[in-house]
Chains A and B, each alone.
Chain A
């Protein structure tokens, strides 16, 4: 950082659907706060939390926001007009012409972000090699500006064919539209990569969410006064609020990105570089794999719309605590994807009447009815028991077996997600540590680790606040890309020349973020494939990158073909300014005796047996004990099954290892 005096107080604020979580690092002291979110205007809860922890003090605020995502999913984005090459006005409507549901009597069509009456076609044409076939005239520019104004839009998405190869026409139009007072997202700025539908979709999403995000951030900044505000992007790096407002498409996965950064930071602090994260929520579970770094993807689809900017690679499956269990017509036990969500919620929350994974956990004694959310939320035990026993009768199973079965089916779905990010991508899960977080991750971690033959589990401190912890550890990151479609044996000189504009842009824009000189790291990479393929592998632009490609290809798909021509599709440049990297002293770890709160019956592996229940905050540093055991803390519960040994390390993490492994 080049800040002359880095602020000593770092505050992470993560807005979730239900709660807003805050973590304050003040020197070596850590303070946390959790309060209900205010979905109609999330800034109210954020500012209240900030006041609670900071009072009138200064501090650097890092924020993970769901404003952009929610605007998109709830259809509350800005009114967008699409400007595109003549003949292609239905680009967003047709998309890739395929249907989402293969077997539907009446398949749903694509919902376009832009209705047909807000599309303006332009007479111009650029070709695949960047040559101009039909020039863009002054009169045409004027006509387009007038037509756009007539649509009464709040925001313009500009996407012309082959603008990644030659942005001249787009730049010309963008300038004229800006001069006319329009807010413009131009595809060659948002995502200069080939494939027009995906580029246009990403650009339109940016145009739809940027005005909403800008207004929100302005409001927030007024409330924060002098305190600088940084926003987490989906790529795991933070940027200044002003930039985040105009590039809001880059903040779509802001919250989950914070979780992944927090998880990886916790793992690193414990000396681990290879982890599989596992964040179990109410309706879904997010998993990700870090092999020495946080993985990125540019194949994300939000609702119906591809968003191709780099995002942390998180795989989501529809299995969570609220997933509903039922018996289908063929006699199989199905769990999810239908979820009881927060309302009505699981049966044991007192309002729902359909059995969920959470109810099965309660039935088996794995959740403590008196300790849920630190005892603030009593659970309806009898109601849950009755509902589960009714379903068991219908299934012809003993209730205990049904409860275990519900968990087994849900865990199979979650294990499937873990396989997708590991074995399906050429990684052996045995080389990784499982890192569960969220409230319920620790209940299923042992079973999942066993299903994937993993031998180590790390349960970090504050598993329920990990996203907020991740925010304060975020680097400043900006990602740049450009499709070039060049042969793999392109001359080094030419490659360097192609990278130059990206580097210039990075230096200028990171300078504006306060990152310059030695603090700025540039990491170039290449998206490569065998010529003729359609999917690329990203390799660092260092040394013999063709060789690296062949190796990675072999690792992923089990064969390689060194005779085949290679193609460099897209150049990528990641600009990084290292974040504050505060030392996290959680102060949870203390010297005392190991003694359970209570010993209670618990069903594990088909047998009910007495099992000690520990309060996590009372576990002494260096303590070690074997499962079965239940560990409870304010926002999470962890089940240690027989065969696992728990150790409390100096960072107050719980480190679990398979006994006899």
Chain B
């Protein structure tokens, strides 16, 4: 921190200004995009970074993106050749990404004729399809090459000009190119709006002063988090929970965490977790960072800034080659959506020992990822439908868990039934709560959801779901929530499906998905 005094008033003013800048980027992205994942389900995030790539502000969007975006900026920075008017696109999990459908666009922002960018703006959006072995690009893969097009950090825009050759290459490798192009335009528009607002701020406060307050915001976040950590009793707490399987025949897969609290700093060690697996539930380290970041933000008071400073007092240890820090070319499609949820469950389980009166039982613990792809007989066009389905929240000291709610690392909306039936050759037969699925306890877990979808034509269904064998844990004497269930109804016969599977569906088939209830709390 520089020796000059930080004015608490200006600190608050700029904190709010940076946050609203990222919110505005998000609004543009949502309103102009084409993927249902972005426009209806709001599976995207926006953030601002300083010249060192430290995150200064982020909009409150999807938790799983937020701790992992800094690595995207670092990957863009590593190119070493950024110039004014450039924008860098990437999705490679091994170079700044998380899983392939999440495409990140990074814009360096230059000021005062400097050679190096003073800031970066980034947005990440979940595209409906990026190619690979199955529509929707969340396949039951065994290596990353099957999951879709890998984009290392490349300049999609150079000196303000879109690289149309590069774009053509990208679009040739996806199932729904018109939609992809529209989404990329939306991402570009969002960063441009962010840049305009950033220039207004720098125009008013000057570059040196704006940067000084970026540093002050990082320090501020650090102090806020230190307060939170100091309130946790010192000690060492360990917890283990399981992923059902990897979709390729192995499982269960243990994830272990050892939490050490010492004063106003903590160490979270996942080294003892399972080695990486052949199936698609491997998580790159960025995802583990996001999950840890998320859990500690849960403990913080409202108004905690989304700056990287918040992470400074938290050390995260992982071992390369494990399911929480996998190495190339492990398959990662489900790591972002499934393993991230279990990492949260494990860390909260450890924290519950330190703060038994505060931490609720486990929530649903899976995003219940459903992808359906095929050819729409009404238009002759290929389609890729993707959705995640809510479950029950865990009960806790402040009452019963909520039913039918997105929990922890995701907060995506559902696609309205009327919009879904208009857009895809699918009919929804039932969308209701799943009574009795929440775990019993003094404060019971929330109920999961039942969704039944009928195919109107041949289509390939891919399911990546977990907590099908073991329900979300209860705490303080509460019972676990009921595990989820997948089934296919064909010609009046009901066939149980595994948690992770690919099924070639026929017209008339009804897919039944029942999501887990939350764990109960208190005996």
**Interface residues in chain A, defined as those with a beta carbon under 8 Å from any beta carbon in chain B:** 87-91, 93-94, 96-99, 102-110, 127-128, 161-162, 164, 194-198, 327-335, 395, 397, 405, 408-409, 412-413, 416, 419-420, 423-424, 485, 530, 532-535, 556-559, 561, 564
Contacts and interface: CB of A to CB of B under 8 A. Distances in A.
Nearest to A94: B404
A409 B405 contact: no
Given A88-B432, A105-B298, A194-B419, A532 B182 contact: yes
A556 B32 CA distance: 10
A329 B298 contact: no
Contacts of B421: 127-128, 162
21 contacts: A87-B432, A94-B404, A96-B416, A97-B449, A102-B61, A103-B298, A105-B299, A105-B396, A106-B360, A106-B397, A106-B401, A107-B402, A109-B403, A109-B446, A110-B402, A334-B12, A412-B12, A424-B27, A532-B178, A534-B39, A556-B31
Contact of B223 (A96, A331, A556): A331
Contacts of A564: 178, 182
A332 B19 CA distance: 15
Given A90-B431, A105-B299, A558-B189, A98 B406 contact: yes
Contact of B404 (A97, A102, A105, A128): A97
B430 interface: yes
Contact of A196 (B31, B61, B416): B416
B402 A161 contact: no
Contacts of A197: 416
A276 B20 CA distance: 19
A397 to B, nearest CB: 8
A196 B15 contact: no
Contact of A103 (B20, B300, B397): B300
A109 B8 contact: no
Contacts of A533: 31-34, 39, 182
A409 B14 CA distance: 10
Nearest to B432: A90
A194 B40 CA distance: 14
Contact of B11 (A104, A331, A535): A331
B406 A99 contact: yes
Given A162-B418, A195-B419, A87 B429 contact: yes
Given A109-B401, A405-B8, A558-B189, 16 more contacts: A88-B430, A89-B432, A91-B431, A97-B414, A98-B42, A102-B411, A103-B297, A105-B358, A106-B360, A109-B405, A110-B405, A164-B418, A194-B422, A327-B8, A533-B33, A533-B39
A404 to B, nearest CB: 8
Given A128-B422, A532-B179, A535-B31, A412 B393 contact: no
A534 B34 CA distance: 7
Q: Summarize A's interface: helix, strand, loop or mixed.
A: loop
Interface string B378-400: 00000000000110011011110
B14 to A, nearest CB: 9
A328 B393 contact: no
A530 B31 CA distance: 11
B189 A557 contact: yes
Interface in B178-195: 178-179, 182, 185, 188-189, 192-193
B517 to A, nearest CB: 13
B63 interface: yes
A559 B8 contact: no
Contacts of A420: 20, 24
A127 B403 CA distance: 28
A352 B449 CA distance: 47
A297 B105 CA distance: 31
B124 to A, nearest CB: 16
- Ranked nearest first, the 6 interchain pairs of A and B with the lowest CB-CB distance are A109-B402, A405-B9, A534-B39, A87-B430, A97-B390, A330-B220
B458 interface: no
Interface residues of B, number: 88
Contacts of A88: 417, 430-432
Interface in B331-384: 358-360
Nearest to A333: B8
Contacts, number: 205
Given A96-B413, A424-B27, A87 B452 contact: yes
A478 B517 CA distance: 45
Contacts of B405: 97-99, 107, 109-110
A558 to B, nearest CB: 5
B75 to A, nearest CB: 26
Given A87-B452, A94-B404, A412 B32 contact: no
Interface in B7-23: 7-9, 11-13, 15-17, 20
Interface of B: 6-9, 11-13, 15-17, 20, 24, 27-28, 30-34, 36, 39-40, 42, 60-61, 63, 178-179, 182, 185, 188-189, 192-193, 197, 220-221, 223-224, 227, 294, 297-305, 358-360, 389-390, 393-394, 396-399, 401-407, 411-414, 416-419, 421-422, 427-433, 446, 449, 452
A558 B220 CA distance: 35
A559 B6 contact: no
Given A90-B433, A97-B405, A331 B6 contact: yes
Given A109-B393, A127-B421, A559-B185, A96 B414 contact: yes
B227 A329 contact: yes
Contacts of B40: 534
B396 A97 contact: no
A538 B11 CA distance: 39
Contacts of B359: 105
Given A103-B300, A195-B418, A412-B17, A329 B224 contact: yes
Contact of A535 (B6, B30, B182, B227): B30
Contacts of A110: 402, 405
Contacts of A106: 360, 393-394, 396-399, 401-402
A164 B421 CA distance: 14
Contacts of B223: 329-331
Nearest to B38: A534
Contacts of B179: 532
A128 B418 contact: yes
A168 to B, nearest CB: 16
B16 A413 contact: yes
A330 B11 CA distance: 10
Contacts of B427: 127
Contacts of A530: 34, 182
A105 B109 CA distance: 36
Given A93-B403, A103-B294, A195 B303 contact: no
A331 B403 contact: no
Contacts of A329: 223-224, 227, 301
A116 to B, nearest CB: 8
B404 A109 contact: yes
A110 B449 CA distance: 14
Nearest to A331: B8
Nearest to A164: B418
A105 B412 CA distance: 18
Contact of B12 (A94, A108, A409, A424): A409
Nearest to A530: B182
B449 A94 contact: yes
A280 to B, nearest CB: 18
Contact of B407 (A90, A91, A99, A164): A99
Contacts of B60: 102-103
Nearest to A404: B9
A333 B389 CA distance: 40
B431 A330 contact: no
Contacts of B430: 87-88
Nearest to A104: B298
A94 B422 CA distance: 21
A103 B430 CA distance: 30
A558 B418 contact: no
- B40, B358, B397, B402 interface centre (most CB from chain A within 10 Å): B402
Contacts of B13: 408-409, 412
A98 B30 CA distance: 16
